[in-house]
Amino acid sequence: MCTRVLVIGSCGQIGTELTQQLRLLYGDSNVIASDIKFPTPHNPHEIFEHLDVLDNEKLSFVIEKHKITDVYLMAAMLSATAEKSPEAAWSLNMQSLLHVLELARNKKIKKVFWPSSIAVFGPTTPKENTPQFTITEPTTVYGISKLSGERWCEYYHQNYDVDVRSIRYPGIISWLTPAGGGTTDYAVDIYHEAFKSSEYNCFLSANTKLPMMYMEDAIKAAIVIMQAPKENIRVRSSYNLSAMSFTPTDIANEISKYFPNFKVTYSPDFRQRIADSWPSSIDDSHARDDWGWRHSFDILSMSNDIITNLKTQSS
């Protein structure tokens, strides 16, 4: 049986580029994009379903209509936005996952990818080289929803043999698609502002070190874990995943190599408290051992790639 994919949240930061990669891998006609927003611009040859993931009936209908085998559930409210709308965040982040897990339990789909986050950790977690199995006491709504989601994933796997696979994403940095509503978004915005105005006012303090990953690696991780043999996936809550860690100062220094006049000022806001509760670096040895995770980009190669792409785009 061929793989037929539904991406939920296909217009978001990760969903946009993930959908493109999945189309290259499985063919345009086997990848159905869906989102509550409409894509801009929309290529009429690519299949798109307008879908609110909280509408369970429509979700079931779309899955049956397109004979979906694999779901990538990318719709979520991220950390900063979730602090402003806790109930809506809880509802979106939890109900969407439970709807999809139920479909998998009822054998309507075969495999589920659901991203968790470093937000499952909290101030009581060891900050450096955070282990796979450690204290998880998140202090954000987003983190609480991701930790609960992880427990549900493991529960559905153990009790109903649902094949759900998950990774704890660090901050994801992209140049093509904007980030939205996260605490790590400064690391996306800073490149664009370096281009536009040679100035950036950062909402985190200069020495806030956080785990980060370039979009290409983030997409690769989702695809590799989904293609791994079932028996290799030994962690059924969510895998730690790592590529690099840096501070706003580190990234500003890197950008200054390309834009010598680039200036960064710092005005930490409510997102500082969120960042302070998260780890600085992550031990992802379980992902490396179990399904062969390897990252490709560090801060140097990522910056070079982003700046080259932004230059090409603007010329």
What is the per-residue DSSP string for 179-214? --S-SSTHHHHHHHHHHHTSEEEESS-TT--EEEEE
79 part of the interface to ligand AKB, by CB under 6 A: yes
Structure tokens at 256: 């200054």
Q: Which residues of 171-196 are buried (b: 16+ CB within 10 A; e: fewer)?
A: bbbbbebebebbbbbbbbebbebbbe
277 part of the interface to ligand AKB, by CB under 6 A: no
Minimum distance of ligand AKB from residue 154's CB (angstroms)? 19
| Residues in contact with ligand AKB, shown as a per-residue x/- string from 156 to 195 under the rule CB under 6 A | -------------xxxx---------xxx-----------
Per DSSP, helices labelled H in the chain are 13-26, 56-65, 79-84, 86-105, 141-160, 186-196, 215-227, 248-256, 271-276, 285-291, 299-314
Minimum distance of ligand AKB from residue 47's CB (angstroms)? 28
Q: Which position's Cβ is nearest ligand AKB?
A: 182
| Residues in contact with ligand AKB, shown as a per-residue x/- string from 59 to 78 under the rule CB under 6 A | -------------------x
Minimum distance of ligand AKB from residue 177's CB (angstroms)? 13
Structure tokens at 5: 């994919």
Minimum distance of ligand AKB from residue 160's CB (angstroms)? 27
Q: Which is nearer to ligand AKB, 118 or 215 (CB)?
A: 118
* Spatial distance between the Cα atoms of 80 and 119, rounded to a whole number of angstroms: 11
Minimum distance of ligand AKB from residue 282's CB (angstroms)? 11
118 part of the interface to ligand AKB, by CB under 6 A: yes
149 part of the interface to ligand AKB, by CB under 6 A: no
Size of residue set near ligand AKB by CB under 6 A? 13
One-letter identity of residue 271: R
Which of 26, 72, 142, 239 is catalytic? The answer is: 142
Which residue bears the tokens 């670096």?
Answer: 281
Annotated active-site residue 186? The verdict is: no
Please check whether residue 217 is in contact with residue 284, taking contact to mean a CB–CB distance below 8 angstroms. no
Q: Which is nearer to ligand AKB, 97 or 119 (CB)?
A: 119
The contacts found for 132-138 with CB under 8 angstroms, 24 or more apart, are 132/235, 132/239, 132/240, 132/283, 132/284, 132/285, 132/286, 138/277
Q: Which is nearer to ligand AKB, 211 or 254 (CB)?
A: 211
Binding residues (CB under 6 A) for ligand AKB: these are: 78-79, 117-119, 142, 169-172, 182-184
> Which residues are marked as active site?
142
